[in-house]
């Protein structure tokens, strides 16, 4: 920053003024004579103050061309005082904005995030007085965490974090407990379908099948008993899984040939003059037993005379049986049979299963082609008798 | 009988040229240093007698010192020293035995 000051002095005897200023300790950087009685003095702010004091004392006209140092800073601030006010207002508004919470993000995480009740969390936050626009120091995150844990109940962790103008609430729902079996409640596990055993594991009870065995629906798979002594057994709840290979079939049938109407080449033509109050036949044509009729209207009078010739063409047809393309028929049958099998599978299977294979067999039945789609699955077939009887 | 000869009024030169530095060291005599063609440094002046853009007259203990030229200006004006800048045409030095003018 240039700290020099520039003064224009109109003085009849400039040498006297310069000598007096020097005697008072001023240091003048340059003196330019712009006229016989006028000069421009450039000096530091302290010397400018001395020169200005002398000019005021002796009533010498002086004009400040440029100020430097703190005086220049004061003048700049005086000129830009509205800018300072604006900055102060901006700072105040920014401080007011940043001192509040404007965005609240609440959500669930963890393995059981899908069990979280978002509506209950939102309701609990509303009851705690948490809303956008509230002061950042208007709540205690620790207390809010405890309050939310008490309100939600089934959360293993609740975290509350304030970052900037955002409030993040993270809740981790509890993982639901697995089903508990009463070992003393005696029961057997039987097969709920026909199939071939692929894998058999008994966690409690006696396994009655082994891999490779064919089982029927209702057949005992794991007997619910264990040996207490060599001769004595006691009933327990059978536990385990028996994975069987089972099949689901779907069928579809379509004819091998189709009847299509073919034109024989014979045709008859008929025409008549038609109007609002007139219907006058011009030519007659005989109809056929099986025919295609084409009718065309030919206007002859225009808008003011709405007359037209109605021309009817009858073309004789004959029903001819034709073979359907075998590849297209098989493709259509395959799609229909697979869709039927998949629908049956969806209706029958309520437990998890793994689809391992799928194929389609075709068979001729008279003039029809039958497609049988077979879907092979692997699923746990061990269920209790109650489940089997209940459906 | 001895007669006064002109040799008696003749100024005596110092025998030791090094003693010339003593006068400089005392700082009472004006010193004018021309720097190039456009600057003149004047030291040990006693004040500004007259100032205009074509002539600047300074007081010294030996007499007035006048610098004539065009577009003259003063730089680095300090008590007892200043620099004259501009198109300098003539520097008139005070005579050695001249009287000092009155202080302003």
The string of pLDDT tens digits covering residues A71-88 is: 777 878 888 888 888 999
pTM for the structure as a whole = 0.41
Cα gap A211→A117, rounded to integer Å:
44
**Partner residue facing B48 (CB), from A15, A29, A30:** A15
pLDDT computed for residue B6 by the predictor: 45
Is pLDDT of A30 > 60? yes
Residue with tokens 């959500």: A107
Partners of A33 on chain B (C-beta within 8 Å) are 51-53, 72-73
pLDDT computed for residue B80 by the predictor: 86
Is pLDDT of A334 > 90? yes
Nearest-CA distance A57 → chain B (Å) = 18
Cα gap A13→A20, rounded to integer Å:
11
Nearest-CA distance A45 → chain B (Å) = 15
Is pLDDT of B5 > 70? no
The string of pLDDT tens digits covering residues A183-216 is: 778 889 999 889 999 999 998 889 999 999 999 9
**Partner residue facing B73 (CB), from A16, A30, A36:** A30
Q: Is B49–A28 a contact, with Cβ atoms under 8 angstroms apart?
A: no
Partners of B47 on chain A (C-beta within 8 Å) are 15, 19
Q: Is B73–A18 a contact, with Cβ atoms under 8 angstroms apart?
A: no
A246 contacts A304 by C-beta, under 8 angstroms:
no
B84 contacts B38 by C-beta, under 8 angstroms:
no
Beta strand A353-365 with A62-66 is: unpaired
Average pLDDT over residues A222-248: 89
Q: Where are the alpha helices (DSSP H) in A62-176?
A: 69-79, 81-98, 118-127, 141-152
The string of pLDDT tens digits covering residues A115-144 is: 888 888 899 999 988 889 989 888 888 999
Mean predicted lDDT score pLDDT of chain A: 89
Helix axes A69-79, A81-98, angle to 10 degrees: 70
SS3 of residue A253 by DSSP: strand
Is pLDDT of B19 > 80? no
Q: Is B76–A29 a contact, with Cβ atoms under 8 angstroms apart?
A: yes
Query: Nearest residue of A to residue B75 by CA position?
Result: A30
Partners of B50 on chain A (C-beta within 8 Å) are 15
The enclosing H or E element of B31 equals strand B31-35
**Would you tell me how many other CB atoms lie within 10 Å of the CB of residue A270?**
18
The string of pLDDT tens digits covering residues A356-385 is: 999 999 998 888 999 999 999 999 999 988
Is pLDDT of A318 > 70? yes
Q: A24 touching B, CB under 8 A? A: no
Q: Is B53–A16 a contact, with Cβ atoms under 8 angstroms apart?
A: no
Cα gap A124→A160, rounded to integer Å:
13
| Burial category of A85 from C-beta neighbours within 10 Å (exposed 0-12, middle 13-18, buried 19 and up) | exposed
Instruction: Report the percentage of chain B scoring pLDDT > 90.
Output: 36
pLDDT computed for residue A68 by the predictor: 73
Is pLDDT of B2 > 70? no
Nearest-CA distance B62 → chain A (Å) = 19
Query: If we measure between CA atoms, which residue out of B12, B11, B31 comes closest to residue B21?
Result: B31
According to CATH, what is the number of the domain B29-92?
Answer: 2.60.40.2000
Helix axes A45-57, A69-79, angle to 10 degrees: 80
Query: Nearest residue of B to residue A26 by CA position?
Result: B78
Is pLDDT of B104 > 60? no
Q: What is the DSSP letter of A301?
A: S
Higher pLDDT, A1 or A5: A5
If contacts are CB pairs under 8 Å, which of residues 34-63 in chain B contact chain A?
Answer: 47-53
Is pLDDT of A94 > 90? yes
pLDDT computed for residue B88 by the predictor: 92
The string of pLDDT tens digits covering residues A248-259 is: 999 999 999 888
Is pLDDT of B100 > 60? no
| Domains in chain A with CATH codes | 5-79 (3.30.70.260), 100-173 (3.10.20.310), 189-242 (no CATH), 251-255+325-390 (no CATH), 258-321 (no CATH)
Cα gap A383→A70, rounded to integer Å:
94
Q: A28 touching B, CB under 8 A? A: yes
pLDDT computed for residue B103 by the predictor: 42
Average pLDDT over residues A52-69: 88
Q: Is B77–A18 a contact, with Cβ atoms under 8 angstroms apart?
A: yes
The string of pLDDT tens digits covering residues A9-25 is: 998 888 889 999 999 99
Average pLDDT over residues B30-59: 90
Provide the total of helices (H) and of strands (E) in chain A, helices listed first. Answer: 8, 24
Q: A23 touching B, CB under 8 A? A: yes
A194 contacts A215 by C-beta, under 8 angstroms:
yes
Query: Nearest residue of A to residue B53 by CA position?
Result: A33
pLDDT computed for residue B97 by the predictor: 54
Q: Which two tokens stand for residue A323?
A: 């073979």
Cα gap A7→A68, rounded to integer Å:
11
pLDDT computed for residue B17 by the predictor: 62
A294: left (phi over 0), alpha (psi -120 to 50) or beta: beta
């Amino acid at each position: 920053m240039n700290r020099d000051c520039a003064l224009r002095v109109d003085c009849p005897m400039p040498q006297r003024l310069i000598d007096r200023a020097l005697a008072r300790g001023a240091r003048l950087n340059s003196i330019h004579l712009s006229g016989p009685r006028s000069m421009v003095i450039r000096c530091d702010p302290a010397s400018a103050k001395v020169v200005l004091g002398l000019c005021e004392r002796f009533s010498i006209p002086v004009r400040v061309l440029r100020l430097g140092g703190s005086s220049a800073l004061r003048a700049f601030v005086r000129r830009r005082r509205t800018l300072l006010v604006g900055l102060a207002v901006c700072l105040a508004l920014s401080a007011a904005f940043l001192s509040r919470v404007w965005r609240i993000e609440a959500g669930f995480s963890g393995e059981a995030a899908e069990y979280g009740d978002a509506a209950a969390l939102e309701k609990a936050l509303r009851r705690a007085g948490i809303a956008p626009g509230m002061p950042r120091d208007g709540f205690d995150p620790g207390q809010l965490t405890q309050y939310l844990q008490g309100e939600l109940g089934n959360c293993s962790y609740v975290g509350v974090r304030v970052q900037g103008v955002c409030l993040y609430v993270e809740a981790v729902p509890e993982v639901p407990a697995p089903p508990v079996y009463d070992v003393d409640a005696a029961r057997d596990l039987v097969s709920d379908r026909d199939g071939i055993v692929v894998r058999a594991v008994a966690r409690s009870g006696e396994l009655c099948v082994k891999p490779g065995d064919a089982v029927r629906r209702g057949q005992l798979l794991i007997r619910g008993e264990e040996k207490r002594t060599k001769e004595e057994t006691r009933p327990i709840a059978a536990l385990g899984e028996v994975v069987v290979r089972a099949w689901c079939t779907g069928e579809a049938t379509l004819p091998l040939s189709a009847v299509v109407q073919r034109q024989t080449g014979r045709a008859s033509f008929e025409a008549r003059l038609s109007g609002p109050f007139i219907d006058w036949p011009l030519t007659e044509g005989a109809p056929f037993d099986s025919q295609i009729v084409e009718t065309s209207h030919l206007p002859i009078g225009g808008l003011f005379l709405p007359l037209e010739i109605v021309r009817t063409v009858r073309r004789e047809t004959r029903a001819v049986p034709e073979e359907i393309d075998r590849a297209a028929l098989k493709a259509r049958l395959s799609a229909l049979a697979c869709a039927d099998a998949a629908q049956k599978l969806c209706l029958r299977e309520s437990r998890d299963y793994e689809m391992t294979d799928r194929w389609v067999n075709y068979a001729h039945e008279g003039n029809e082609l039958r497609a049988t789609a077979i879907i092979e699955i692997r699923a746990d077939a061990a269920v209790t008798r109650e489940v089997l009887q209940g459906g | 009988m001895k007669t006064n000869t002109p040799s008696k009024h003749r100024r005596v030169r110092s025998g030791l040229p090094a003693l010339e530095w003593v006068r400089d060291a005392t700082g009472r005599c004006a010193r004018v240093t021309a720097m190039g063609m456009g600057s003149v440094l004047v030291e040990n002046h006693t004040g500004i007698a007259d100032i205009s853009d074509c002539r600047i007259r300074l007081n010294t203990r030996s007499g007035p010192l006048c610098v004539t030229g065009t577009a003259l200006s003063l730089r680095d004006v300090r008590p007892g020293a200043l620099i004259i800048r501009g198109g300098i045409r003539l520097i008139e030095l005070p005579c050695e035995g001249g009287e000092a003018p009155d202080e302003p």
